[in-house]
Chain A
Amino acid sequence: MLEARNLRKEFGELRATDDVSLEFGTTPGEMVFIVGPNGAGKTTLVNLLTGLLEPDQGSVVVHEETDDGTTVERDITNVDPERRVNEGLVRSFQIVHVFEEMTVRENVRVAVLSRYDKLLSVRSRDDQHEDVEETVDDLLAQFRLEETQHEVAETLPHGDRKLLDVAMSFGLDPEYLLLDEPTSGVATREKEYVIETIVEASDARGVTTVTIEHDMDLVKTYADRLVVLVEGSVFREGDPTLLETDGELRRVLLGVTE
C-alpha cells in the first residue's frame, strides 16, 4: 500500500497540496482516479508521491507485507525518484516523455534493462539479453506496438506515443503506477482504447494505478475508487457513483446546478 500522510506543499502564497492523506492499493490492483477542477493540485500530488517535488510537510510511506504476514512501513519521503522505482513506484507524465531518437523497441528495452538491473553492464550488447527481449516482446504485443517497433519514437502518432510512454512504465514492473492524464491530447474516439489497454495491462499484473483524468465518462466506467481534489485538499473520496449522486460534487466538478 502506498500512503500519503498529511502532505503539504506551498508555492509562495499558493497552497497546492493542503494536508492530503490518502491510501492507494488498500485493495491491491485497484484503479483509483484522481479528478478535480484545474489547479486543484492533482499533478502536484503525483509529483510529491513520485519524488519530483519535495513536500513542505508530511510524508510518503510504502507499506509492504513480509513473508510472515506482518506489514513493514518504509518512509520514502526523501528517496530520489530513481530509487523510488525500486520501491515499485512508477509514473508517466502529462506531456509524453519518451526517448525521441530511439526506436519504439529501444525505448521499451531501456526501461526493461533498468528493471532487470542490467544498465551497468558493459560487456554485452544491449539487445543480447534473452529475458529482457522476451519481456520487451510481451509489452510490445500488449500495447500493440509491434508493427511500429522499429520506428523512431518522434515519428509516431500521438496516441501511440502515449501508449509507448505507458508501455515503458509497465516495463519497470511497477507495483504502483501513477498516470498523469494518460489520455490528454488523444482523440476522443481513441481515449477509451488507451485506457482500456492500461486497464488490461494493470489487471494482468495486479498493478495499483492512480490516474489523473478529466473525462468523467472514462472515470465512471473504469474507476474502482474516486478521489476528488479541490483547492489542494481532498474534497470527496469514495465510490465513482458519487459522480451521479453527490449534488455538491457535481456542482464543483461539472458546474451542474440541480
Chain B
Amino acid sequence: MSRLSPLEERDGETVVRVPLTNGLTLTKGQTALTLVGILVLFGLPFLAGIVGLSWGRLFRGLLFGMAAVGLNLLLRHTELVSFGHAAFFGGGAYAVAVLAAHLDVSEGLLLLLAAVIVGTLLAAFIGYFVAGYVDIYFALLTLAFNAVIFATVFRSGFFNYNDGLAVRVGGDNPTLFGLGWTDLGYDLVLYYTTIVLMLVMLLLMWRLVHSPFGRALDAIGQDRTRARFIGIPVERYVWISFTISGLYGAFAGGVYALQRLHVQPEPTLYVFVSGEILFMAILGGFTTLVGPLIGGVLLVYLLEATRFSFYYYHAPIGIILLAIVFFMPKGIMGSLPDILAGLSRRASDPGLLGDDLQTIGSSIRRSLSRATTTVRILVFGVR
C-alpha cells in the first residue's frame, strides 16, 4: 500500500491524502472507488469482452468524456454554458488527419501533440472573442463559431468534404513510440498511453480547480461584478479557462482520430456533438470531477449501441436523459452519495422499503387523478 499516503483525521473522519496534489484528500469510500476505477480502466481491454461490451466503444466514450471534463471547467466553475466544444474535439481530430493524410506524418504521438496544439490555439482564438459574454450570448456565440468551422470543413475539398480523411500514411497505421504495431498491438498501446495521460490530466484538473485560480473562476461564476471589484481580470481569466477547457477536448479529439483512423465532420465537429458533450457533463454529474467522464462513457455507448438496432434510436436515450434530469439533477456521480446513503439506510432498516412503495403508490394515484381531471375537463369542459 505504498501508493497511499498516510491517513489523516479530519472532522472526525479518516481521509486519505493523495500524492502529487499538495495534500488534497479523499474519504475512504472515494479512495476505494478511485482505485477500483483505475483498475477497471487498466483492465478494460480484457474486462469489456468478458461482460460482452465493446472495448472500442468504451474507449471512445472515455474520449468524449474527457472533452466533457474540459467543458466542465467552464460549466461548473465559471458557470458558462458552451455549445461549441465540438470545435476543439473536431479540431484536434482533424489536425491529426490532415497531418497524416496531407503531410505524411506517421508518428502517432507527434500527431497527438499537433492535435493538442491546434485545438488549444483554436480555443484561444474563439475564447478571445467570447470571453466577455455571458448566458445565452455566450452559448450562441460558441455555437456560431462551431457551426462556421463545421461548415468550412464540410464544404472543403482539402478536408475531403463529408467523407473525411483517413489517418493512414501509405496504407499503414501510424507508428507509436516510433514503432509499427499489429492492429491489436496498436489499439492496446494507444489505449494505455491514453489512459496514463488521461489520469495525469484528471489529476491536473483536480489540482487546478482547488488552486487559487480555480477559486477565482468560482468567484467569476458566482458573481461577475463582485469578481471584477475584488480585482479579478474577469475576461482574461475566462479566456484562460476557455483555452484550458479546449485543450482537454483537443487531446480527446486527437486520440479519437488515432483510434478510429478516419475522421469525418459529423461525428466530431457537428454542433450536435457539442450538445452531446454538454449533456455528458450534466448526465454524469457536473458538480464532480469525474462525472463528465462517466457521462461520456454512458452516452456514447448508448448512442453507438442503439444506432443500428432501430430507427428511432434517439427516443429511448432522450427518455433516459429526461429521467436523469428530473430525478437526479446532480447527475450520476453527483447523486451517488445520496443513493448510497439511501441504500445503506434501507439495508439497515428494511421497513423503509414499505414507505418507498407507499410513496410511489400515492404519487401514481395523484398523477392518475390529475390526469383524469385534465381529461374530463378537456372532454366535458369546466363545470
| Interface stretch of the complex, out of A4-12, A24-32, A104-112, A249-257 | A104-112
Does A111 contact B230, Cβ atoms closer than 8 Å? Answer: yes
- Confirm or deny: B22 has a beta carbon within 8 angstroms of a beta carbon on chain A: yes
Find chain B residues with CB under 8 A from A111 CB: 230
Within 8 A of B (CB), among A168-185: 168, 171-172
- Confirm or deny: B28 has a beta carbon within 8 angstroms of a beta carbon on chain A: no
B238 to chain A, nearest CB (A): 13
Within 8 A of B (CB), among A82-129: 82-83, 85-86, 90-91, 93, 97-102, 106, 109-111, 113-115, 118-126, 128-129
Does A122 contact B229, Cβ atoms closer than 8 Å? Answer: no
Given contacts A82-B229, A114-B230, A168-B230, contact A126 B211 (CB under 8 A): yes
Number of interface residues of A (CB under 8 A): 38
Does B23 contact A125, Cβ atoms closer than 8 Å? Answer: yes
Q: Mark B226-243, 1 if CB is under 8 A from A, else 0.
A: 101111111001000000
Find A114's partner among B207, B211, B214, B231 (CB 8 Å cutoff).
B231
Q: How far is A82 from B23 in the complex, measured between Cα atoms in Å?
A: 31
A116 to B, closest residue via Cβ: B212
Find chain B residues with CB under 8 A from A81 CB: 228-229
Does A85 contact B222, Cβ atoms closer than 8 Å? Answer: no
B11 to A, closest residue via Cβ: A150
Find A121's partner among B211, B230, B234 (CB 8 Å cutoff).
B211
Does A120 contact B222, Cβ atoms closer than 8 Å? Answer: no
Does B233 contact A82, Cβ atoms closer than 8 Å? Answer: yes
Does B231 contact A125, Cβ atoms closer than 8 Å? Answer: no
Does A172 contact B213, Cβ atoms closer than 8 Å? Answer: no
Find B22's partner among A102, A120, A125 (CB 8 Å cutoff).
A125
Q: How far is A110 from B226 in the complex, measured between Cα atoms in Å?
A: 11
A121 to B, closest residue via Cβ: B212
B213 to A, closest residue via Cβ: A122
A168 to B, closest residue via Cβ: B230
- Confirm or deny: A50 has a beta carbon within 8 angstroms of a beta carbon on chain B: yes
Does B225 contact A172, Cβ atoms closer than 8 Å? Answer: no
Find chain B residues with CB under 8 A from A109 CB: 215
- Confirm or deny: B219 has a beta carbon within 8 angstroms of a beta carbon on chain A: yes
Q: How far is A109 from B219 in the complex, measured between Cα atoms in Å?
A: 11
Q: How far is A124 from B231 in the complex, measured between Cα atoms in Å?
A: 20
B230 to chain A, nearest CB (A): 5
Does B215 contact A110, Cβ atoms closer than 8 Å? Answer: yes
B217 to A, closest residue via Cβ: A119
Q: How far is A120 from B232 in the complex, measured between Cα atoms in Å?
A: 10
B140 to chain A, nearest CB (A): 25
- Confirm or deny: B208 has a beta carbon within 8 angstroms of a beta carbon on chain A: yes
> With A99-B223, A121-B212 given, can you name 16 additional A-B contacts, CB distance below 8 Å?
A80-B228, A82-B231, A82-B234, A85-B230, A97-B223, A98-B223, A99-B218, A99-B222, A109-B215, A110-B212, A113-B215, A114-B232, A115-B231, A126-B214, A126-B215, A128-B22
Residues of A within 8 A of B (CB): 50, 52, 80-83, 85-86, 90-91, 93, 97-102, 106, 109-111, 113-115, 118-126, 128-129, 168, 171-172
